[in-house]
Amino acid sequence: MAGYPYEDRFAVNHTLPEKGRPREEILAELATMAEEEDAFWETGKCSGTMYCGDHEHYGFMNEAFGRFAHVNALQRDMCPSQTKFEAEIIGMTLDVLNGDAVTDAQPVGVVTTGGTGSILHAMLAYCEYGAQARNITQPNVIKPETAHPAFDKACHLFGIELRKAPVDPKTTQVDVDWVAKHVDDNTVALIGSACNYGYGTVDPMDELSDLAVDRGIGLHVDSCLGGFILPFGQKLGYDVPVYDYRLPGVTSISADTHKYGYAFKGSSVCTFRDKKYRNAQYFFLTDWSGGKYCSPGIEGSRSGGILAATWAAMVSFGWEGYLRYAKKIFETSAAMQDAVRSHPELSMLGEPTFLFSFTSDEFDVYHVNDFMRPRGWRFNGQQYPNALHMAVTRPQTQEGVAEAFAADLAEAVAYAAAHKDEPAKSGAIYGGVAGGMTNEADEFIRAVMADMMDEQQALPL
């Protein structure tokens, strides 16, 4: 059985403590863990995940959160503030995604708990709308293979058939002809990423949009990762294709406030071109003995803190703030990409943006990871082909980080070339947990999950 983290320093609560502990003691214990864990990413060597990294901003959001932490955002009669926050978060997100280009319908949205939540809401909406408007009982959607596993999860949960379209190995963009051939009468929506998690590339959304219009079906753009950075990159003149509501076939876009929106984890926005999609997924039960129940989305009760903090983050930055940070991120990403391109042994996958991914035909690129990890770098590992990706965030824009990356990468490439005949130690697991991948990958993943969950939750014998 795996040990509990921190068991060498702090008591483990296998059961509810008989007596409560003093608050100061608890807060001191929390401070120790938080400070040690923050030190890992504060170096700027960790890909993605810590999009903001600014403790002053975190403090500000904590204050906003604290004012409404105890409020239940479901009980709107008691908290009109939550209606204001949610409506304005959606309005500001639609502004960033060029919602004003929609003239034939009313764009709307729902604030959800994260990227997965937004994707679930979109898929549910297409499924329900397909049933209500087109009598579809066995819906299917088509996603590029590179689109996030949250789509697979949504299809698994809602009983939707998922068709996976191949991507061009060079550009990493979806094969639109394949998509066109696989649309049928039960297709409720197409999916494209702007950008995808793996390569930071944008699917040919104009072509997908034309196809969606032509076939009279939905097109969901997953901009969970890119939604609060690519539009600012576009404004700054970077080469980012149009993928938002300016395209007539785009019927929904997910954009995560809890990523490059710099809000706390637990918030994302699922926007819809036309409220008919959002309205299709409302749930209500009018004949329950407990009263008439309705909820605008999948969640029931939610803390008002998250809506307050997300709203506070967005209005504290505005266009000016987001543009300022995007500029630094795009510049840093370009400098890091130059470092990769300076090594002929490495090759960049597709045409990346703020997030880039590289592989090697000379050696297993995980050797590069093996060398960089002890230097404090945490990349995200990929497979088919083996590749490493770096989602550049604000911590990387600190002085000296791009330079350190270039220097460590040069040594890592030499190390990889010298060890190319040996198997690499690390492998591809989403989220950067690197471990040896074998043919028993399923068993391995189950063991990792068990380690993280079951065994630590079990009572000691």
Ligand X SMILES: Cc1ncc(COP(=O)(O)O)c(C=O)c1O
Cα–Cα distances in angstroms (integers) from residue 151 to residues 69, 180, 189, 298, 347, in the given order: 30, 19, 12, 16, 29
| φ, ψ dihedrals at 223, nearest 5° | -115, 35
Contact call for residue 193 and ligand X (CB under 6 A): yes
Cβ distance to ligand X smaller for residue 191 or 413 = 191
Contact call for residue 197 and ligand X (CB under 6 A): yes
Per CB under 6 A, the segment of 166-174, 191-199, 361-369, 407-415 that binds ligand X is: 191-199
Closest distance of CB 226 from ligand X, Å = 7
Pick from 240, 281, 262: nearest CA to 119: 281
DSSP letter (8 states) at residue 455: H
| φ, ψ dihedrals at 165, nearest 5° | -85, 140
Closest distance of CB 380 from ligand X, Å = 9
Distance CA 230, CA 202 (A): 10
Q: Which residues pair with 271 in a beta bridge?
A: 109, 253
Per CB under 6 A, the segment of 165-173, 200-208, 219-227, 313-321 that binds ligand X is: 219-227
Give the residue, chosen from 44, 99, 107, 114, that forms a contact with ligand X under the rule CB under 6 A: 114
Cβ distance to ligand X smaller for residue 125 or 416 = 125
Contact call for residue 220 and ligand X (CB under 6 A): no
Contact call for residue 224 and ligand X (CB under 6 A): yes
Which residue of the chain is nearest ligand X when measured via CB?
Answer: 115
- Give the footprint of ligand X on residues 229-258 (CB under 6 A): 256
Per-residue tokens: 256: 């995560």
Task: Give the E-state strand segments of 98-172 in sequence order.
Answer: 108-112, 140-144, 161-165
Cα Rg for the chain, rounded, in angstroms? 23
Per CB under 6 A, the segment of 203-211, 220-228, 325-333, 366-374 that binds ligand X is: 220-228
Per CB under 6 A, the segment of 110-118, 122-130, 172-180, 327-335 that binds ligand X is: 110-118
- Give the footprint of ligand X on residues 279-298 (CB under 6 A): none
Per CB under 6 A, the segment of 55-63, 112-120, 238-246, 396-404 that binds ligand X is: 112-120
Collapsed DSSP state (helix, strand, coil) of residue 192? strand
Cβ distance to ligand X smaller for residue 225 or 387 = 225
What number of CA atoms fall less than 13 Å from residue 107's CA on the CB side?
Answer: 27
- Strand (E) or helix (H) holding 213: helix 205-215
Per-residue interface string for the shown chain with ligand X, residues 67-106, x marking contact by CB under 6 A: ----------------------------------------
Per-residue tokens: 375: 């230097």
Closest distance of CB 120 from ligand X, Å = 9
Contact call for residue 381 and ligand X (CB under 6 A): no
Closest distance of CB 268 from ligand X, Å = 6
Provide the 10 A C-beta neighbour count for residue 189: 25
Closest distance of CB 55 from ligand X, Å = 22
- Give the footprint of ligand X on residues 129-188 (CB under 6 A): 148, 150
Provide the 10 A C-beta neighbour count for residue 235: 15
Distance CA 50, CA 53 (A): 6
Closest distance of CB 161 from ligand X, Å = 20
Pick from 144, 178, 139: nearest CA to 164: 144
Distance CA 425, CA 71 (A): 48
Distance of CA 115 to the CA centre of its chain: 5
Contact call for residue 352 and ligand X (CB under 6 A): no
Contact call for residue 389 and ligand X (CB under 6 A): no
Total residues interacting with ligand X, rule: CB under 6 A: 12
Cβ distance to ligand X smaller for residue 227 or 360 = 227
Closest distance of CB 196 from ligand X, Å = 6
Alpha-carbon torsion (401, 403, 406, 409), positive or negative: negative
Distance CA 134, CA 178 (A): 24
Contact call for residue 353 and ligand X (CB under 6 A): no
Contact call for residue 116 and ligand X (CB under 6 A): yes
Per CB under 6 A, the segment of 24-32, 53-61, 217-225, 395-403 that binds ligand X is: 217-225
Binding stretches for ligand X (CB under 6 A)? 114-116, 148, 150, 193, 196-197, 222, 224-225, 256
